[in-house]
Amino acid sequence: MTHPFELSQEIELDATPEQVWDAIATGPGVDSWFMGRTELGTSVGAPAGLTMMGHTERSTITAYEPGARLATRGEEAPDGRFMALEYLIEGRGGGTTVLRLVQSGMLGDDWETEFEAMKAGWPIYLETLKQYLTYFAGRTPSVATVVRPGAGGPDTVWKIVTESLGVTPDVGEGDGVRLPDGSSGVVYYANLPVNLGVRTDEGLYRFIHSGTARGDALVLGHQNFADHDEQAAWDAWAAERFG
């Protein structure tokens, strides 16, 4: 049985509407703060796709108003489940912009768990967008994505991640950390014990505990803006730390 849902979140960004549009309405822009690889057309009816771990989720663009509004609707599953996404851009004075995100559609039987996971997940992505526009705007990253099923519950994952970064589990925003390659960074987002975001001079790094009806997983979504391909290194790190 399907269940309708809608969630809405917004963030104020120190960027122009044009800069925000480039970040949410182009493939390279989305790759700079989200996960996987995104392809986007440039008109209503054009295709859109998100590819991650060898799987592509396909959508269709349903609204395309440069600098103001972008909307997509995913393919409908046989049982009626689907996802729709809308971005609304509003320029403010002083070179700032408010971005509002609305996600809606139909979820399956475990809709409450899915809804809470999406609600908890979007803030770190929106904050990553803010970090990208502030520190790396216009640069194209090398993307590393790792999904490690069976990593354990949130407390277990959080303990392993924080120990690996040389900090305690009560780490907070603004704290310094050290990545496994020895580079130093600062925490830009911390939601204990679920999501952690780290910024270095070269990139943005996210450590996420994903808990759904399908089980617990560790999800890494990293962007390196110095043209360093880190996929193999993070695959090895996850295999070593989470078996």
> How far apart are the C-alpha atoms of 229 and 125, rounded to whole Å?
21
φ, ψ of residue 64 in degrees (nearest 5)? -145, 95
125 and 179 share a domain?
A: no
**Residue-level pLDDT at 212:** 61
Same domain, 122 and 186: no
CATH number of residue 57's parent domain? 3.30.530.20
Same domain, 68 and 187: no
Paired tokens of 238: 């996850």
Q: How many domains, in total, are found in the chain?
A: 2
Domain shared by 131 and 146, yes or no: no
Same domain (yes/no): 102, 201:
no
**218 within 8 A of 146, measured Cβ to Cβ:** yes
Q: What is the reported pLDDT for 53?
A: 72
Among 91, 115, 135, residue at a domain's last position = 135
| CA angle 227–232–234, rounded 5-degree value | 90
Segments in the chain below pLDDT 50: none
Range of the domain at 208: 142-242
H helices within the chain, ranges in order? Answer: 17-25, 27-31, 111-135, 154-164, 231-242
Q: At what angle do helices 231-242 and 154-164 cross, to 10 degrees?
A: 120
